[in-house]
Chain A
Amino acid sequence: MRKPGKKKLIQIYKKMVTIRKVEEKLMEVFSTGEIPGFIHVCIGQEATPVAVCSWLKDSDYMSTTHRGHGHALAKGIDLNLFMAELFGKSAGYCRGRSGSMHIADPKTGILGANGIVGGGIPIATGAAFASQYKKSGQVTVCFFGEGATNEGTFHESLNIASIRKLPIVYVCENNGWAEFTPQKTHMPIKKVADRARAYDMPGAVVPNDILKIYEKAGEAVERARKGQGPTLLEIKSTRWHGHFVGDAQKYRLEKEVAAAKKKDCIADFEKKLLKDKTLRKAEIKKIADMVNQRIEGAVDFARKSPLPDQSELMDDLYV
């Protein structure tokens, strides 16, 4: 599999940093009450969306979950319009109707985040069916957590995708927790990837290491693109924060959280980039500043954008 060149590495790094900083900013803004509803951040899990989406074109499809900011940003969503949606503003992608949990952008192939655990899995499978049918060469990536693999939709979809050799990659981000419950309470197995065997498709466990995920995702996307069928990837990632912002995660031991935070996919990558001189300290600082500036700009854009007008409430329910 092709190794990423210097330009690609820097691009990947920037995207990971963007996701981390967007999530940190969101946590800060959310706690002031400026963003309504609830949000789920993916801090600690930034490697997966970036690595996987690096292999995708705008025309490829992607479906995500309640914890979907990283996937949307990695797939290429516009930061300003994304932020405006989270603020519930009319300039947002979904006109303020979706908020964080349902954001979608067909232009970049984002079929939607989902408030229903497991809800996106058959939808992504359907997108793959459509591209196979149209012989368009598009690939679909379907992101979900390990908790979602206990839903019937997961099993039914993988079975169907395998029968029809659909061009799809199922990416399970196993952060060990479904809401307030650890994996072992809900699954007799340790590796979600083992579930692939039941559907006669390749399954692989990948550590939360950007380059390893990049490599495995590349193989899976290529396999899908060539019409060889679906793959199930399981990324062993970590959830640093609560299930939603505001969840103090009292159900987790402090030392377990501390250990999770030690496994920092961004810091690890940064070290590597510094070591092999892909980036220097000053450049890293520059990237951070630039990303921060873009985020401030997006928050500003969202703040200034008006709320949807009440008169829009009934608009466009039907075509």
Chain B
Amino acid sequence: MKEIRYIWAINEAIKEEMERDDKVVLIGEDVGTPGGSFGASRGLYDLFGPERIFDTPISEAAITGLAAGAAACGLRPIVEIMFMDFMTICMDGIVNQIAKMRYMFGSQFKVPVVIRTPSGGGLNAGPQHSQSLEAWFAHVPGLKVVMPATPYDVKGLLKSAIRDDNPIVFIEHKALHALKGSIPEKEYRVPIGKADIKKEGTDVTVVAVSKMVHESLKASEILAQDGINIEVIDLLTISPWDRETIFGSVAKTHRLVIAHEAVKNFGVGAEISAAVSEEILDELDAPIMRVGAPFVPIPFSLEKAYLPNADQIVAAVKKTMERTF
């Protein structure tokens, strides 16, 4: 095992996959000699040159559409969109084109595009540089949406994403870029579509997305002092999400909290909550609680008050412990 930062784990995954398969290309703004705005492609230009490390103008709409065309014609593009907020400019390419090309054209095409983008708050970057928009993409049939929270998972999942023949929206968390963690020296992959139990527990299932995994682990320590033992599940893949693991855990704990940084309204938590209610309502001993951001844009200076945190998870867990049907 070795220690590595989240951002370097991304870099390693791209490098290894580019070495393995010469169809893999990286496309994005400042990804060339500057090595990416957050450093994810540092050193790659020197290794792979300008043909494979395609440093583009500031033209998000065009590069997304271009990736669709290139993928349909045999390449395996990784597109870097510098901030998730700028994904809004790529929406036609992603939603109307990439997501639909296979199905709409009678399953004749494969569109193996990975769109990597950092989401999330924590840097006081304000309303247009801090959003978590995963639910938008999870709402679109044809896309897979992945959201890893540790160096181990980000590397393993990115490698799986690059090898997957389907289009994948790969959402990093920019406040986790500097996070250190251990990963194997040897090649490994983490499967798409599988959640990971980060901490086993018996009292309440907490399904967490991205950075909320770390907040949930913090919450778990706080709750342990009160004798409450939560199970923390890292969802990892938002779509298609791992029903089996989550239903299994709920069947064990009979209580469920879902935590994500995105606004609570119409979020991933709503989908999971609805599915649990539809499928295994009789397993629940208490109403499901959701932790998410309030329904306003992310303010510049009140960011801390805005972002969901461990305390809110603790409160939600306690509430499910108090409330019963």
Chain A residues closer than 8 Å to B303, beta-carbon distance: 36
Chain B residues closer than 8 Å to A101, beta-carbon distance: 126, 128-129
Interface string of B18-32 (1 = CB under 8 A from A): 000000000001101
- Complex formed: what's the CA distance from A287 to B224 in Å? 64
Please determine whether A37 and B59 come into contact, CB atoms closer than 8 angstroms: no
Please determine whether B301 and A116 come into contact, CB atoms closer than 8 angstroms: no
Task: State which of A87, A98, A147, A151 has its C-beta within 8 Å of the C-beta of B126.
Answer: A98
Task: State which of A151, A180, A313 has its C-beta within 8 Å of the C-beta of B34.
Answer: A180
Please determine whether A102 and B126 come into contact, CB atoms closer than 8 angstroms: yes
Task: State which of A38, A88, A179 has its C-beta within 8 Å of the C-beta of B301.
Answer: A88
Known: A36-B124, A179-B34. A150 touches B302 (CB 8 A): no
Chain A residues closer than 8 Å to B29, beta-carbon distance: 178-179, 181
Interface string of A175-192 (1 = CB under 8 A from B): 000111100011100000
Please determine whether B128 and A115 come into contact, CB atoms closer than 8 angstroms: yes
Interface string of A117-138 (1 = CB under 8 A from B): 1110000000000000000000
Which of A48-56, A223-231, A304-312 interfaces with chain B? A304-312
Please determine whether A37 and B34 come into contact, CB atoms closer than 8 angstroms: no
Please determine whether A313 and B124 come into contact, CB atoms closer than 8 angstroms: no
**A319 interface residue, CB < 8 Å from B?**
no
Chain A residues closer than 8 Å to B37, beta-carbon distance: 179-180
**B306 interface residue, CB < 8 Å from A?**
yes
B interface SS class: loop
Complex interface residues of chain B between 266 and 325 (CB less than 8 A to chain A): 294-297, 299-303, 305-306
**A206 interface residue, CB < 8 Å from B?**
no
B83 CB to closest chain A CB (Å) equals 8
Please determine whether A98 and B58 come into contact, CB atoms closer than 8 angstroms: no
Q: Which residue of B lies closest to A36 (CB)?
A: B124
Known: A96-B302, A150-B58, A151-B58. A181 touches B127 (CB 8 A): no
Chain B residues closer than 8 Å to A179, beta-carbon distance: 29-30, 34, 37
- Complex formed: what's the CA distance from A114 to B89 in Å? 14
Chain B residues closer than 8 Å to A147, beta-carbon distance: 57-58
Interface string of A20-40 (1 = CB under 8 A from B): 000000000000000011100
Please determine whether A116 and B86 come into contact, CB atoms closer than 8 angstroms: yes
- Complex formed: what's the CA distance from A36 to B59 in Å? 28
Interface extent on A, as a size class?
35 or more
Please determine whether B57 and A37 come into contact, CB atoms closer than 8 angstroms: no
**A99 interface residue, CB < 8 Å from B?**
yes
**B62 interface residue, CB < 8 Å from A?**
yes
Please determine whether A37 and B302 come into contact, CB atoms closer than 8 angstroms: no
Please determine whether B301 and A102 come into contact, CB atoms closer than 8 angstroms: no
Please determine whether A115 and B127 come into contact, CB atoms closer than 8 angstroms: yes
**A248 interface residue, CB < 8 Å from B?**
no
Chain A residues closer than 8 Å to B300, beta-carbon distance: 36-37, 88, 94, 96-99, 102
A interface SS class: loop
Chain B residues closer than 8 Å to A97, beta-carbon distance: 126-127, 297, 299-302
Please determine whether B306 and A102 come into contact, CB atoms closer than 8 angstroms: no
Chain A residues closer than 8 Å to B294, beta-carbon distance: 313-314
**B222 interface residue, CB < 8 Å from A?**
no
A68 CB to closest chain B CB (Å) equals 13
**A317 interface residue, CB < 8 Å from B?**
yes
Q: Which residue of B lies closest to A90 (CB)?
A: B301
**B251 interface residue, CB < 8 Å from A?**
no
A83 CB to closest chain B CB (Å) equals 13
Q: Which residue of B lies closest to A316 (CB)?
A: B296
Known: A116-B85, A185-B55. A310 touches B127 (CB 8 A): no
Known: A150-B59, A181-B30, A314-B294. A98 touches B123 (CB 8 A): no
Please determine whether B57 and A186 come into contact, CB atoms closer than 8 angstroms: yes
Chain B residues closer than 8 Å to A310, beta-carbon distance: 302, 305
- Complex formed: what's the CA distance from A148 to B37 in Å? 17
Chain A residues closer than 8 Å to B295, beta-carbon distance: 314, 317
Q: List 10 A-B contacts (CB under 8 A).
A: A37-B125, A37-B300, A89-B301, A96-B300, A118-B58, A152-B59, A251-B33, A307-B302, A314-B296, A317-B296
Residues on B lying within 8 angstroms of A by beta carbon are: 29-30, 32-34, 37, 55-62, 85-86, 89, 123-129, 294-297, 299-303, 305-306
Nearest 9 CB-CB pairings of A with B: A88-B301, A115-B128, A150-B57, A180-B34, A36-B124, A99-B300, A37-B124, A186-B57, A96-B301
